[in-house]
Amino acid sequence: MLTEFTNSNLEVLYSAEEINARVAELGAQITRDYAGKDLVMVGVLKGSVIFLADLIRAIDLPLTIDFMAVSSYKDGTVSTGDVEILKDLTNPIRGKDVIICEDIIDTGLTLFRLTEILSSRGANSLKIATLLDKPEPRIKKELQFDYCGFQIPNKFVVGYGLDAAGRYRNLPFIGVVVNPDIA
């Protein structure tokens, strides 16, 4: 029952049911948009794995998956703007229709750099699906994203793949950490 997680330091922002319903909608939208295309879903490790796992099962099309790991937050919370590739894609994306799957867009820097990197590899198309978008602190980079689960306030959230110091990824819901000092 994960009762240890439902402590007073977490407020539920989106329940498992609300997330499932929204992911189903995004899957249906992608199914309509990508019929007949050579779809590759690229998960950005680690935060996107739960979202990716659910989203691909809501897409009623043939597809493949691949993963990248990048590091952009060198100091835990402060974005440096630099993206270091820790793990690259296993397969080439030339001629493919790629959707990058991300957990959350905060400043937008990580995805901005990632799309720059992947754009140079000859994909037929490159789009972004993000579970969450924090509009408030966006350094207004010219980042276009096509599929978005929820827009959230400028608060630190965990669960459904998102962590605080490596924990909380297995929460079935998305919660706000009330006091990050004791997360």
Tokens encoding 34: 């990508």
- Distance separating alpha carbons of residues 90 and 99, to the nearest angstrom: 15
The verdict on 171 binding ligand 5GP (CB under 6 A) reads no
106 catalytic per annotation: yes
Which of 26, 111 has the CB closer to ligand 5GP? 111
- Site pattern 48..67 for ligand 5GP (x: CB under 6 A): --------------------
The verdict on 72 binding ligand 5GP (CB under 6 A) reads yes
Q: Please, what is the minimum distance in Å from the beta carbon of residue 117 to ligand 5GP? A: 14
Q: Output the CA angle 32-170-161, nearest 5 degrees.
A: 45
Question: Contacting ligand 5GP (CB under 6 A), which of 156, 172, 178, 180?
Answer: 156
The verdict on 13 binding ligand 5GP (CB under 6 A) reads no
H/E stretch holding 99? strand 97-105
Tell me the C-alpha to C-alpha distance, in Å, between residue 37 and each of 45, 96, 99, 113, 127. Answer: 24, 8, 12, 25, 13
Question: Contacting ligand 5GP (CB under 6 A), which of 54, 110, 160, 171?
Answer: 110
Tell me the C-alpha to C-alpha distance, in Å, between residue 104 and each of 38, 131, 154, 162, 183. Answer: 25, 6, 11, 8, 18
The verdict on 103 binding ligand 5GP (CB under 6 A) reads yes
Binding to ligand 5GP in span 113-142, by CB under 6 A: none
Tokens encoding 156: 């630190």
Catalytic residue among 66, 106, 133, 163: 106
- C-alpha torsion sign, points 59, 63, 64, 70: negative
Which of 39, 177 has the CB closer to ligand 5GP? 177
CB 91 within 8 A of CB 65: no
Question: Contacting ligand 5GP (CB under 6 A), which of 93, 104, 128, 171?
Answer: 104
Which positions are catalytic? 106
Applying CB under 6 A, which residues contact ligand 5GP?
47, 72-73, 79, 102-110, 156-158, 162-164
